[in-house]
Amino acid sequence: MGCMGGLGPRPFYSALMAMPTLTPEARQYIEDQAGKRIGSGSWAITTGQAQLHQSILANDSAAMQKAIATVRAGVLEAESGAAALQAVNEGQSPRQLALTWFKTQMSVPAAVGMPVDEGPWGLSWYHLSTMTFLVAFVLATILIHYARLRRIGSLVQRLTPGAAPVAVPAGGAKSAPFAADAAAFVTVPTLAAPSTPAALDFSAQNPSAVEAPAPGKTSKPWTGALRVADIFYETPNVKTFRLREPGGGPIPFTFVPGQFLTFSAEVDGKRIRRSYTIASAPTQRDYVELTVKREDLGAESRYLHDNVAVGDHLEVSGPAGVFTFTGTEANSIVLISGGVGITPMMCITRYLTDRAFPGDIFFLYGASSPQNVIFREELEYLRKRHANLHVATTVGRVDETPWTGAVGYISKEFIARNVPEIARRRVHVCGPPAMMEAVKSALIELGVSKHKTKSEAFGQALGAAPVPAAAGVPATDTAAPSTLTASPHTVPSAQSEIEFRKSGKTGPLAPDKCVLEAAEAIGVAIDFSCRVGTCGVCAVPLLKGAVTMAVQEGLPPEDKARGIILACQAKSAGNLVVDA
Ligand SMILES: Cc1cc2nc3c(=O)[nH]c(=O)nc-3n(C[C@H](O)[C@H](O)[C@H](O)COP(=O)(O)OP(=O)(O)OC[C@H]3O[C@@H](n4cnc5c(N)ncnc54)[C@H](O)[C@@H]3O)c2cc1C
Ligand code: FES
């Protein structure tokens, strides 16, 4: 067709596309070209018709085909010219004209064509909206990626004990060469740990946005009243008392896992004092929990079980105690307990799991029977959640409560079976005196050195045997020196005396009586709790003289070096002066 008219479709089309606007010159050009096309098209139609007529007469089919093609080409050319003229008359732009013409040439239906309404910057609205959608999509992808990075950062922070807040680049992840752009960093706050299922009331372990005291830090001893906010039944003879600050708010002291509080109560007209380990973790600041076993003939434990109700106020002092573990002292810990001796171990375990302690925690527990296993569900729950917590429980005998675990006492074999390489680990032991003595012997046989073993007796310690009368006789507790001397010139006498400097009182001191008993005999008040050398409540400074102490587990070495003695253990054959 181009050959026929001397103007091929491509030059006309390209010429139209190159014209930005419909100037009078452009209009003239298009009208000229359109006229030529209509003219040459109609000439081709006429010629083709004549050729077709002759080929039909000559019965020449090939000539017929050629004639028909000429007619068709003429129609198309005339049609394109007519379309261009119409578009010019409608005021369309040259480019739209070119497109109209092109579609006519290519026989493309108008509905299939792209919209050519022009938007800003010479782009079509279709083009613009597609680009806008793509840009929005890319931005959304970047934002999602950035949010993921923040989440990962905060998770890393949660799982890293004592880690500094995690910082991520403000613009999201960057490759190493760009990561040094510290000025653009934002700090991600630490997330609270996920809370535990509501069905199991393990909320004592939920740190829920509270700060634990710095490891190894305990507040000054505090005395005051705490309100019983709740009482939980753990086993047939064990209850947990949840205590809160009466006015609300956080508990008025901080403590270290393993410490205890001392209750003071008037029972049957007598004031008695007893210590109870805090079983809840220090990460919980809204309350403390004490888990108490009812002793059939016990004064305080019976009082707590039988008389104390929710809403009552209890006289409390503390915290105190050195039977502690915060996770900084060793990179793994073995906690062996029996009966209600589980309380310090539970506090330590709750604390360590709350704080994501990375080391192994071996929790070995012995109960008299399955129904007396304290914190059974919670230990199982924690064990499932924390791969580094290894729990092994044994019972003395089976009862009606379902039990598939071990039966028997905590023996050397039981320990060896459940704690690999125990000789290199730190071990804590707490429970009834007989159990503690058996476990300590087993530990020695397993190669655990004494300085790696810490223990606390809740009752009368087996080591608390009467001390021989003569001063300086070695005590049964070989963990520490038995004799404490405040003056090298102590002269033993048949009837020694003890002076209580603060009270201004002096009284007799028999060699078989301890300082606490001598004080009570003449009405000098010295605080006490366990009376067996483990709680440390009766600590007083020795100003003059020398004493022996059978048990001194409740006395930190630094206090001992400062001349502090345990009044419930200190005995002497010479004269003494104490600051009480
Ligand atoms: C540091 C420390 C932490 C402790 N933590 C806990 C703890 O978390 N949970 C806990 O439950 N305990 C704990 N104890 C033990 C607690 O302090 C008490 O010793 C315990 O509750 C018993 O006190 P009580 O007044 O009931 O018994 P007490 O009146 O002191 O009697 C002591 C024992 O003697 C028996 N007894 C009393 N009178 C007689 C009699 N006439 N005949 C025969 N037997 C008799 C009692 O049955 C009891 O077993 C802890 C002790 C210490 C030192
Ligand atoms: S009263 Fe507990 S150590 Fe003396």
Task: Measure the CA–CA gap between 516 and 505, rounded to whole angstroms.
Answer: 14
3-state secondary structure of 92: coil
User: Among 455, 481, 458, 430, which residue's Cα sits nearest to residue 532?
Assistant: 458
Distance 530 CA to ligand 2 centre (A): 5
Which atom of ligand 2 lies nearest, measured to the CA of 529? 1
Q: Which ligand is nearest to the CA of 278?
A: 1
Per-residue model confidence (pLDDT) at position 205: 39
Distance 388 CA to ligand 1 centre (A): 33
Task: Measure the CA–CA gap between 41 and 451, rounded to whole angstroms.
Answer: 113
Q: Which ligand is nearest to the CA of 564?
A: 2
Task: Measure the CA–CA gap between 382 and 440, rounded to whole angstroms.
Answer: 27
Closest Cα to atom 47 of ligand 1: 297
Query: Phi, psi at residue 221, to the nearest 5°?
Result: -55, 140
CA distances, 214 to each of 162, 282, 289, 326, 328 (Å): 10, 10, 20, 9, 11
Distance 478 CA to ligand 2 centre (A): 18
Task: Measure the CA–CA gap between 222 and 320, rounded to whole angstroms.
Answer: 10
Q: Give the mutation target among 259, 535, 559, 578 for probing the ligand 2 site: most ligand atoms within 8 A of CB.
A: 535
Q: What is the pLDDT of residues 412-466, one digit of tens each?
A: 999 999 999 999 999 999 999 899 999 999 999 999 998 899 988 886 544 443 3
Closest Cα to atom 18 of ligand 1: 274
Q: Give the mutation target among 273, 531, 542, 551 for probing the ligand 2 site: most ligand atoms within 8 A of CB.
A: 531
C-alpha torsion angle, residues 291, 293, 297, 298 (rounded to 10): -30
492 residue type, one letter: P
Q: Give the mutation target among 277, 337, 350, 458 for probing the ligand 1 site: most ligand atoms within 8 A of CB.
A: 458
What are the DSSP calls for 403-469, one per residue?
--SEES---HHHHHHHSTTGGGSEEEEEE-HHHHHHHHHHHHHTT--GGGEEEEESS--TT-PPPPS
76 residue type, one letter: L
Task: Measure the CA–CA gap between 520 and 314, rounded to whole angstroms.
Answer: 24
- Contacts of residue 311, defined as CB under 8 A and 6 or more positions apart, other chains included, come to 227, 228
Which atom of ligand 2 lies nearest, measured to the CA of 567? 4
Task: Measure the CA–CA gap between 253 and 318, rounded to whole angstroms.
Answer: 8
As a residue count, the chain comes to 580
- Contacts of residue 492, defined as CB under 8 A and 6 or more positions apart, other chains included, come to 470, 471, 573, 574
Per-residue model confidence (pLDDT) at position 341: 97
Per-residue model confidence (pLDDT) at position 495: 76
- Does the N-terminal peptide bond of residue 319 adopt cis geometry, omega within 30 degrees of 0? yes
- Contacts of residue 290, defined as CB under 8 A and 6 or more positions apart, other chains included, come to 240, 241, 243, 261, 276, 277, 278, 279, 343
pLDDT of the chain along its 580 residues, tens only? 333 333 444 456 666 666 666 777 777 777 888 788 888 887 788 788 878 877 787 788 888 888 888 888 888 888 877 877 777 777 777 677 666 666 655 544 444 444 445 566 656 666 677 678 777 877 877 777 666 666 544 444 433 333 332 222 233 333 222 222 222 222 222 222 333 333 343 433 333 333 444 444 666 778 999 999 999 999 999 999 999 999 999 999 999 999 999 988 998 888 888 999 999 999 999 999 999 999 999 999 999 999 999 999 999 998 988 899 999 999 999 999 999 999 999 999 999 999 999 999 999 999 999 999 999 999 999 999 999 999 999 999 999 999 999 999 999 999 999 999 999 999 999 999 899 999 999 999 999 998 899 988 886 544 443 333 333 322 333 333 345 665 444 444 557 999 999 999 999 999 999 999 999 999 998 888 778 787 888 999 999 999 999 888 778 888 889 999 999 999 998 999 999 9
| CATH assignment, 332-457 | 3.40.50.80
Residue listed under structure tokens 């998770």? 155
DSSP at 283: T
3-state secondary structure of 538: coil
For residue 178, with 0-12 CB atoms within 10 Å meaning exposed, 13-18 middle and 19 or more buried, which class applies? exposed
How is domain 483-578 classified at the architecture level of CATH? Roll (3.10)
Per-residue model confidence (pLDDT) at position 215: 41
Distance 91 CA to ligand 1 centre (A): 106
Encoding tokens for residue 562? Answer: 């400062």
CA distances, 390 to each of 81, 257, 286, 409, 414 (Å): 91, 19, 29, 18, 13
Q: Do 263 and 274 form a contact (C-beta atoms < 8 A)? A: yes
User: Among 482, 478, 396, which residue's Cα sits nearest to residue 440?
Assistant: 478
CA distances, 307 to each of 228, 262, 267, 304, 562 (Å): 12, 18, 10, 6, 41
Task: Measure the CA–CA gap between 46 and 55, rounded to whole angstroms.
Answer: 14
Q: Which ligand is nearest to the CA of 433?
A: 1
Q: Which ligand is nearest to the CA of 300?
A: 1
Which atom of ligand 2 lies nearest, measured to the CA of 555? 3
Q: What is the pLDDT of residues 295-352, one digit of tens each?
A: 999 999 999 999 999 999 999 998 988 899 999 999 999 999 999 999 999 999 999 9
- Contacts of residue 490, defined as CB under 8 A and 6 or more positions apart, other chains included, come to 471, 544, 545, 546, 572, 574, 575
Closest Cα to atom 51 of ligand 1: 458
Please tell me if the CB atom of residue 304 comes closer than 6 angstroms to any atom of ligand 1.
Answer: no
Name the CATH code of domain 223-320 (choices 2.40.30.10, 2.40.420.20, 2.40.10.10, 2.30.29.30).
2.40.30.10
CA distances, 183 to each of 152, 177, 188, 435 (Å): 21, 14, 15, 60
Closest Cα to atom 14 of ligand 1: 458
Closest Cα to atom 3 of ligand 2: 533
Q: Do 230 and 219 form a contact (C-beta atoms < 8 A)? A: no
Distance 539 CA to ligand 2 centre (A): 7
Domain locations in the chain as residue ranges: 2-113, 223-320, 332-457, 483-578
Encoding tokens for residue 27? Answer: 């209009």
